Amino acid sequence: MTGLRILLGAAILGGLGAAAPFTPLWLISLVTLAMSTGLVVCGLIILWRGGLVPFGQALFFATGAYTVALSGRWFGVTDAFLLIALAVIMAVLVAFVVGFLLAQYREIFFAMLSLALSMILYGVLVKSETLGSTDGINVAQASFFGMMPRGPGYTFALFWLALGMVFAAWVGVSAYLGSVAGQLAGAIRDNEIRVEYLGISVTRLVHLKLTISAALAGAGGALAALSISHVDPQMAYWTTSGGFVFVTILAGAASVPAAFLGALLFEIVRTIAVALLPGGWQLILGSVLLLTILFVPEGLGSLMIRKRVTVSGREAA
Amino acid sequence: MSALLSVKGLEKTFGQVVAARDIDVDVPQGQTVGIIGANGAGKTTFVNMITGHLTPSGGTIEFEGRDITGLPSRKIMRLGIARSFQVAQVFPTFSVLENLCAATAIARSGSSVVGAALSRFASAETSADAEAALDQFQIARFRDALASTLPQGVRKLLDIAMATAGNPRVLLLDEPTSGISLEEKFGLMDVIMGALKARGTTILFVEHDMDIVQRFADRVLAFYDGTVIADGAPAEALGDERVREFITGTLIRSKDGKLGAGRTSHA
């Protein structure tokens, strides 16, 4: 990624941040929530490029969200940056441990095993009174550099925080996708035997991808928890994971910014669908997915990339 | 001359089936060894055990004096033993250059996952290595073609070029000319051997065509029924009576059970 692109990205995000005070609060909240989904989808793109689709990414999302809620409740942590760091660390730890198992599997087995693990967490959350059971836990208001903004100020602060996280994720994920490990995703999808016989462990590469994707999902969960001010077991439920996969298909694996645009589009479509057809919004969402697969099978990102990039100029957008 | 690769008492059984037994081979640095034998004689099993694809049931494999028996294949690769496959193993959705870049990038990142995560894929050094391999293996005109669209011979060359990316000291080629037409075989082997000899690589290649073996091998290992029945210079090994009977088919039994001279065949 060139310096110019980074500058451009920073300018766009800075512009969005500056526009916040002139934007309706509901829209800012919606965008913040969409960015939390976008962070998770960034991680799914990393896995998807390697041919892996987890149906249980909510495991790491919920881990991040609950870490924020419980750090506040049990230890009185209020600093937003610290909360997010803790959420990422916890999600990474969980992914590192379950990765020893998950990285052994591919295709539908990888997908379903990840789903199984997320459903175990869901079960634990529902059954445990300490963790709030089905009601969940309220998330205390976070502080920023020792300040506790109230009302609209808090919504703005969270939005700016989200923009900062989007920027960090975009730079970080682009760098990873441009690394040898990132570029080997296609090689793993194509031919694992050849990768192993070039001297590098496919299992460890998959483990790394899973751990990075979990860090992003944990960050997304933390942002969602702060944004909604509440966590509940639904965050670990399979429909949450399904939503992430939905947005990943909508966004495609070609481009990192598409993950955020896809997430935004998803939130907007869902909001409109619920307003139009309160009892049958899934019908609209399903139709959007159907149309995406039929007409933009490689996702929104494919519309943003002009040509097929080759190695010499191969760059993660 | 001390052996670079030393195999002692190697054996492999699959249940009741003995795929390899009593294999003792020392390969000195720089030698080119042709491995011959009928289908099922244990040639590929031998290659698979050396490269860690199969774990031997008994015996030892030493490389540069170090015991590598039963190590995972990627560790063996990292020590300096690479291989190509009977069915060329490439990345079909990558171009030829991208395939080579993947191989050189892995080699350059030290074959470690952390190294791979921290080094950039599109580096000038990686591209330079890949371009050099394109020239060395004479596949530069297929540079930007997708690997899935390549003719068989080019795909074989690409597979071997990728295997040499880490500058292995030993390279095992499993039937480099299988699936290649008779007219093209010698040309293909000339390219392969030319590129490898320039690097001083020690080569073991499995081959069914005795003309190829005679032309390119310094030494021949003849496999029959899971073990080595002849080992020596090509003329000597190919002249061995059991080799002629069981492998090259230049001896055929007459109806009364006596051995006699027969036709030459590309068994």
Half-sphere exposure of A136 (CA within 13 A, CB side): 21
**Domain segments of chain B as ranges:** 3-88+168-261, 91-149
Q: Is B121 in Cβ contact with A179 (below 8 Å)? A: yes
Tell whether the model's pLDDT for residue A101 goes beyond 90. yes
Q: Which domain holds residue A188?
A: 3-304
Write the pLDDT tens digit of every residue in A178-190.
899 898 998 998 8
> Residue A13 is part of a domain; what is its CATH number?
1.10.3470
**Does A12 fall in a domain?**
yes
**Does A312 fall in a domain?**
no
What is the DSSP annotation of A274-289?
HHH-TTTHHHHHHHHH
* Nearest-Cα residue of chain B relative to residue A209: B117
Three-state secondary structure call for residue A208: helix
pLDDT band at B129 (very low <50, low <70, confident <90, very high): confident
pLDDT band at A317 (very low <50, low <70, confident <90, very high): very low
Which value does ipTM take for this structure? 0.82
* Nearest-Cα residue of chain B relative to residue A185: B102
Chain B positions in Cβ-Cβ contact with residue A179 (cut-off 8 Å): 116-121
Tell whether the model's pLDDT for residue B254 goes beyond 70. no
Q: Is A182 in Cβ contact with B90 (below 8 Å)? A: no
For A171, other C-beta atoms within 10 Å of its C-beta total: 16
Q: Is A198 in Cβ contact with B166 (below 8 Å)? A: yes
Q: What is the CA radius of gyration of chain A?
A: 19
Say which DSSP state A144 is in: B
The pLDDT score that the predictor gives to residue A90 is 97
* Nearest-Cα residue of chain B relative to residue A212: B117
Chain B positions in Cβ-Cβ contact with residue A201 (cut-off 8 Å): 74, 113
* Nearest-Cα residue of chain A relative to residue B97: A311
Q: How many folded domains does chain A comprise?
A: 1
What mean pLDDT do residues A264-292 have? 86
Give Dmax (Cα) for chain A: 58
Given A182, A199, A312, which is nearest B74 (Cβ)?
A: A199
Q: Is B94 in Cβ contact with A186 (below 8 Å)? A: yes
Write the pLDDT tens digit of every residue in B160-202.
999 998 889 999 998 888 888 888 888 888 888 888 888 889 9
For A317, other C-beta atoms within 10 Å of its C-beta total: 17
**Does A10 fall in a domain?**
yes
What is the DSSP annotation of B6-37?
EEEEEEEEETTEEEEEEEEEEEETT-EEEEEE
For B242, other C-beta atoms within 10 Å of its C-beta total: 12
Tell whether the model's pLDDT for residue A162 goes beyond 70. yes
Q: Is B120 in Cβ contact with A178 (below 8 Å)? A: yes
How many whole angstroms separate alpha carbon A267 and alpha carbon A74? 32
Chain B positions in Cβ-Cβ contact with residue A193 (cut-off 8 Å): 85, 89
Chain A positions in Cβ-Cβ contact with residue B97 (cut-off 8 Å): 310-312
**Does A309 fall in a domain?**
no
Please tell me the distance in Å from B207's CA to the nearest CA on chain A.
Answer: 21
How many whole angstroms separate alpha carbon B157 and alpha carbon B99? 12
Strand B17-28 to B66-67 pairing: unpaired
Give the residue, B41 or A109, on which the prediction is more confident.
Answer: A109
Mean pLDDT of chain B: 84
Three-state secondary structure call for residue A186: helix
Instruction: Using CA atoms of B208, B213, B217, B218 in order, give the dihedral in degrees to the nearest 10.
Output: 120
Helical H segments across A178-280, by residue range: 180-190, 192-196, 202-228, 238-251, 256-276
Chain A positions in Cβ-Cβ contact with residue B103 (cut-off 8 Å): 198
Please tell me the distance in Å from A171's CA to the nearest CA on chain B.
Answer: 14
The pLDDT score that the predictor gives to residue B252 is 54
What mean pLDDT do residues B14-25 have? 86
**Does A311 fall in a domain?**
no
For A15, other C-beta atoms within 10 Å of its C-beta total: 10
Q: Is B113 in Cβ contact with A198 (below 8 Å)? A: no
Give the residue, A241 or A301, on which the prediction is more confident.
Answer: A241
The residue behind tokens 């050099």 is B132
Q: Is B162 in Cβ contact with A194 (below 8 Å)? A: yes
What mean pLDDT do residues A196-223 have? 94
Identity (one letter) of the amino acid at B218? D
Assigned superfamily of B3-88+168-261: P-loop containing nucleotide triphosphate hydrolases (3.40.50.300)
